[in-house]
Structure 1
Amino acid sequence: MAGELPLAGIRVLDLTQIYNGPYATFLMAMAGAEVIKVEPIGGEYLRRRDASSGAAMPFAMLNACKDSISLNLKSARGRELFLELVDTADVVAENYSPGVMDRLDLGWETLSARNPRLIVASGSGYGQDGAYQDMMAMDLTVQAMSGLMSVTGNADGPPMKSGAAVCDFGGGIHMYGAIMTALFERERTGRGSRIDIAMLDSVLMTMASNIGMLFGARKDIPLRTGNRHGGLSLCPYSVYPTSDGHIAVICNAERHWAALARCMGREELATDPRTLTNRERVTNMDFVDTTISAFTATRTTEELAAMLRAARVPSAPVRDLPDVLADEALHERGLLVRVEHPDFGTVSLPRSPIRLGGDARQADYRVSPAYARDNGRIYGELGYDGGAVEKLQESGVI
């Protein structure tokens, strides 16, 4: 299978940690690249989180299909060993704080001089230069700095973070895209390139509706709109109560609204002057939402989901995560896979969402590696036999 995959033959030295960078290299591994996770002595930080609380599961999710070696980059011998690995690599990916690689004397100038075809991808919160480069960055703080938090929550409530780590993974997705772009460019030029991906930069476009309303004629739109449209320019667009949960409904076209009106037994709303077009519905948003809520609250989520789906009204039940992970449709599609993990038992984990050729043509799923599992093989490929590897370990280099 690996020989048929698009990134077969590409070697990645993965210095990334936590969520941001590891997702980019996970996508590469699933596309067939050989991803060697280069971990500090003791293992990557995320690996060391408390497994009993589930906090270690993200490591398993993000590091499937990778190999693991240990290496002390702070030691002179460790740096030399890393440069030997660089000679064999196509990509180095890292998301240390800006400046760390330079302080290790492993920055772009050093690495590109060693291997001119090398692509060096750096992920960070605010970029490798600029006024914010030295600010500590986590998903939460970038949500705050980017404005994302200011547009999340109810109009009369405080700013809220997103329930998902959108900045971390937004940065990871853009890093993956940038690496693919650089690999394509290398095919033309024969030279590698330096990549600088900032989480803050990556998340701004997700607020297109919110940014758009800043330049509109209306000046009464609150920053936070709860479950309503970010620019309050589409109605209905919200999450409505059911007798046993919630359902999300949106009407992008007048035919959607007419179909919803028929489902509610309120056909007259399709021609009512208050709700005739989206413009009128936006003006009378409270009336629209109250009317829909009164209808949905009397029926179960499952009943409504089936009814609205049959009527071609854009909608979906609000599902809990256990239901999503058990969804057989997602397993059949290949997004989710059931695996036997040595640390977690039988679990359902996501594969790459990238489908090429119309199917899930990806690497055979391998669970996340044990720490330093591949030291012998990978250092052996550099010419270090078992005795030499043992000496490196005894001296604290690996």
Structure 2
Amino acid sequence: MYKAIAKISQHCERLDVLAVVTWGLVLAISLYALPSQTANVQANTLGIAICFAAYIVCFFGATKLNKASLFGRAHQVFLGLQLASAFAIMLMLPLDFIPILTIIWAGMLINFCRFETALLIIIALVVVWFSLYGWRWQKDHVLLTGSLYGTFHIFSLLMSQQTQKAKQASEQANELNRQLLATQQLLTQSTKQHERTRIARELHDLLGHHLTALTINLQVSSHLCERDGNSAAKEKVDESYALAKLLLSDVREAVSTIKANQAIDVQSAIEALVAGVPALKVHHSIQTDIQLDSFELANTLVRISQEAITNTLRHSGASEFWLSITQQRDEIQLKIYDNGTAPAKLVAGNGLSGITERAELLGGTVNFNRENDGLTIVVNLPNHIRQ
């Protein structure tokens, strides 16, 4: 039982749970109060129950339905039906606490329109609601009750706005943290690359130079020993000359090995970037033997990936995201797609334009395609950029 509750809570935000609990309490109290109502009200028991059920179904339809799915703007329809069901309950059941249902609705409104628009809608809602309520049930003190509940509605809207801002700030901080971790991974590798380059240069310029001079001197010494007829000395000089040549060859091989193993591992940076992305399951596949020539190239791949993730979170409504990096000869290909919904006519905003600009700065190309209703991005970058 505990595991089942925990699993459900993973898919529901705390405010959603609170809204459902509040709806449940209003329903329970309403059913409890029904026997004390008039016969005409009791005759509407089935209709009241259906409206309560419709309210909660529409609540989840408005809050959980993918806004970029095949259903288009169905979430807005559910929002309207949710309000209509609350009005229907009010017209069938003369209880003063029924406006609690519209307070819940008012808290949801900030996710569908700007604050100013939501405030005007709520003011109009309260006026219409209590005008109908007073006319339908001939209640006293309707103006006072309406004013009181009106402040509750506005308070709900303000709290939802603050929650939304806090959530956005948290997501931005999370995104920046992931970007910093990815950049840190790349900078660490870039530092190691520079250090290996410095060591290779020192080995080549200093040790290699001295060993070359030593082999030349030993070769000269060998000729002098041969001229003087000192065969024993010549033999030792020749052995030293052979060892010096072997050591020089080993140094050159070591320098070549160091230079050959300077490729930047982009996988660790990508893993840091995609770890903990909110509301999106990220799948990544990076070719194991991929060789990136420069920090600039690796950084561009990471930045384009980040831009694509952000674009998916903001616009596509996807729940899953796929990213792959492969090497084809002297070209690196980054392929990105998701299971969201892209507009039929794709218009490049700041995000997609930024991806194109980053790729073109390195002499690469970008293709945007709409496949299976989702957006597929294919980036090809030349792998011959030198720092």
TM-score above 0.5:
no
What is the TM-score normalised by the length of structure 2?
A: 0.24
What is the TM-score normalised by the length of structure 1?
A: 0.24
Which has the bigger relative contact order, CA under 8 A and spacing at least 6?
1
Higher Cα Rg: structure 1 or 2? 2
